[in-house]
A and B are shown apart, each in its own frame.
Chain A
Amino acid sequence: EKLAAKKKRRKEREALGDKAPPKAIPKTIENQRVYDETTVDPNDEEVAFDEATDEFAPYFNRQTVPKILITTSDRPRGRTVRFCEQLSSVIPNSHVYYRRGLALKRIIPQCIARDFTDLIVINEDRKIPNGLVLSHLPDGPTAHFRMSSVRLRKEIKVRLQQNSERKEHVPEVILNNFTTRLGHSIGRMFASLFPHDPQFIGRQVATFHNQRDYIFFRFHRYIFKSEKKVGIQELGPRFTLKLRSLQKGTFDSKFGEYEWIHKRREMDTSRRKFHL
């Protein structure tokens, strides 16, 4: 029945020729998205003012250099360990430390003392990493994500690269589609992981792409074949994140003040409503 309707429409269009009405735009979820009142307008003064005074201001004013600590939950399995190493090769100036049963509440003051700016904890379940806690250290916000579809480097690249010396360049960062206030602050969190001056010689780019509340992370190497064409080759791990909660202070599950939690009952009701 649909086919018949389509055929009829096409015939009409051909019959009308030039006077045919323009093609209808198909409805996608992005088109039909429920308007979120917290969408950030690029020229919004309030937002600009907020960002000048929030916890990432020192980073964006280039006063602090990011230094990241990556760790896991207890007893990480091989996959998680390898993922941590690859992640630390993606993010410059990052260190991986194992956690033999140390409480987070105790390592946070130590980290602050040693001048770390960010802490990443990769939670593991049944031998695969499935959660990520990213907290900005000097008393910054903590974001808790659910991580899914993690692919290590070996599983992405089919053709092995000949140069296995993977220098730690400072990659560029692309943040796509972070529209609302919440999305904006999360985007800034991600941006604050990477140092400000990317080394263009390295031609590496790390992408955080938000689509329907899922944040896809990819790490590519690009080359400009001409000024209108660019080729990208994926290297580096890939994973997707879904935000579960955002806390105001550093990681504290009991007494922390939550800025945003994903409440399944309320927030998952509409298919066209997204929060990031």
Chain B
Amino acid sequence: NRQFCSYKITTKTQNFCRNEYNLTGLCNRSSCPLANSQYATIREEKGRCYLYMKTIERAAFPRRLWERVLLNKNYEKALEEIDENLIYWPRFVRHKCKQRFTKITQYLIRIRKLTLKRQRKLVPLRRKIERREKRREEKALVAAQLDNAIEKELLERLKQDTYGDIYNFPIHAFDKALQQQDAESESESDAEKEEEDEEDMDKRDFVEADDSDLSDFEDMDKLETSSEEEQEVEEEVQKKASRSKSKGKTPLKGPARRKRPYIEIEYEKETETATKTKAA
């Protein structure tokens, strides 16, 4: 044991034997196939178990050294076969053979069960490709300029009126009204509108709501039919407008955000919830 054996593997607590014919896998005097001239093992090949035996008589013929016996598929019958083959052999070898056989059959059963279930296929990653993809992704991200693209798209949609009347940016509404009015050629109303255009946004909101008769806007079906809507949406929009005016990119903080960013946080919360309930 203390000497060199090419099959020996030493670890901190134990020595292992790498020999394929070893019965237990440990490097002991009793379980070394090289040290014992009478030895037996169980090995399995392609799902079938064989009993391998080595006797002294054949020690001179290395090619015929190991004798092989196919064991029965039935567990108990195979155990009996082991018994009758190793009939006068030492207890240790017989016992260990049966133990090994048991373990082998158990893992064969498990293999068969697992192959029926879904199996995880491991696909190896290629490092070069991974790196390449990662780099390309970063470059694509930079090239994409997502924020700009999204903003542009949103503005496009606003222009094309997909949002309908929610956002009352009157310049657009008035532009459209202008275009439609041109067809009717009411130049006076145009002049009026232009004047109104130049006023403040907030004031304009008021003006629109007050003009409930909307006599000038007869062709503007939108504004007419949704004038009531407008009044309801009016409040929300007003608040939105006031909110939007005083906000930076933080749509959820309250109106006094710019001046006192951190002091009056609770204040902002309250007002915010108040406005939300009103809008809803």
Tell whether, in the assembled complex, residue A216 and residue B163 are in contact, meaning their CB atoms are under 8 Å apart.
no
Q: Which of B118-163 contact A (CB under 8 A)?
A: 118, 129, 132-134, 136-137, 139-141, 143-144, 146-147, 149-151, 153-155, 157-158, 163
Q: Considering the chains assembled together, what is the distance between the CA atoms of A148 and B133 in angstroms?
A: 10
Residue of A227, A232, A240 touching B158 (CB-CB under 8 A): A227
Tell whether, in the assembled complex, residue A174 and residue B118 are in contact, meaning their CB atoms are under 8 Å apart.
no
Q: Which of A72-114 contact B (CB under 8 A)?
A: 101, 103
Tell whether, in the assembled complex, residue B136 and residue A212 are in contact, meaning their CB atoms are under 8 Å apart.
yes
Residues of chain B within 8 A (CB-CB) of A214 are 136-137, 140-141
- Chain B nearest CB: distance from A166 CB in Å? 12
Main secondary structure of the interface of B (DSSP, over half): helix
* A139 located at the interface, meaning its Cβ lies under 8 Å from any Cβ of chain B in the complex: no
Chain A residue nearest to B171 in the complex (CB)? A227
* A230 located at the interface, meaning its Cβ lies under 8 Å from any Cβ of chain B in the complex: yes
> Could you say which of B55-63, B74-82, B105-113, B241-249 contacts chain A?
B241-249
Tell whether, in the assembled complex, residue A216 and residue B146 are in contact, meaning their CB atoms are under 8 Å apart.
yes
* A224 located at the interface, meaning its Cβ lies under 8 Å from any Cβ of chain B in the complex: yes
- Chain A nearest CB: distance from B216 CB in Å? 22
- Chain B nearest CB: distance from A241 CB in Å? 10
- Chain B nearest CB: distance from A266 CB in Å? 14
Tell whether, in the assembled complex, residue B140 and residue A211 are in contact, meaning their CB atoms are under 8 Å apart.
yes
* Contact indicator per residue, chain B 242-270, by CB within 8 Å of chain A (1) or not (0): 00110111111100000000000100110
Q: Considering the chains assembled together, what is the distance between the CA atoms of A254 and B268 in angstroms?
A: 58
Most buried by A among B132, B147, B153, B253: B153
Residues of chain B within 8 A (CB-CB) of A201 are 166
* A136 located at the interface, meaning its Cβ lies under 8 Å from any Cβ of chain B in the complex: no
Residue of B139, B244, B252 touching A225 (CB-CB under 8 A): B244
* B7 located at the interface, meaning its Cβ lies under 8 Å from any Cβ of chain A in the complex: no
Chain A, interface size: which category?
35 or more
Residues of chain A within 8 A (CB-CB) of B217 are none
Tell whether, in the assembled complex, residue B151 and residue A211 are in contact, meaning their CB atoms are under 8 Å apart.
no
Q: Considering the chains assembled together, what is the distance between the CA atoms of A218 and B154 in angstroms?
A: 14
Q: Considering the chains assembled together, what is the distance between the CA atoms of A172 and B89 in angstroms?
A: 81
Chain A residue nearest to B154 in the complex (CB)? A230
Tell whether, in the assembled complex, residue B153 and residue A174 are in contact, meaning their CB atoms are under 8 Å apart.
yes
Residue of B118, B151, B167 touching A232 (CB-CB under 8 A): B151
Chain B residue nearest to A149 in the complex (CB)? B137
Residues of chain B within 8 A (CB-CB) of A218 are 146, 150
Q: Considering the chains assembled together, what is the distance between the CA atoms of A148 and B138 in angstroms?
A: 11
Residues of chain A within 8 A (CB-CB) of B249 are 231-233
Q: Which 8 A/B pairs are nearest by Cβ-Cβ distance?
A: A227-B169, A211-B144, A223-B251, A212-B140, A231-B249, A211-B140, A214-B140, A225-B244
Contacts A205-B154, A211-B141, A230-B154 known; 7 new A-B pairs at CB < 8 A: A162-B268, A222-B154, A224-B158, A225-B247, A227-B155, A232-B151, A233-B251
Between-chain CB contacts (< 8 Å), 11 pairs: A30-B143, A176-B149, A207-B146, A207-B153, A212-B139, A224-B169, A225-B244, A226-B244, A230-B155, A232-B150, A240-B141
Q: Give the interface of B toward A (CB within 8 A).
A: 117-118, 129, 132-134, 136-137, 139-141, 143-144, 146-147, 149-151, 153-155, 157-158, 163-164, 166-167, 169, 171-172, 240, 244-245, 247-253, 265, 268-269, 272
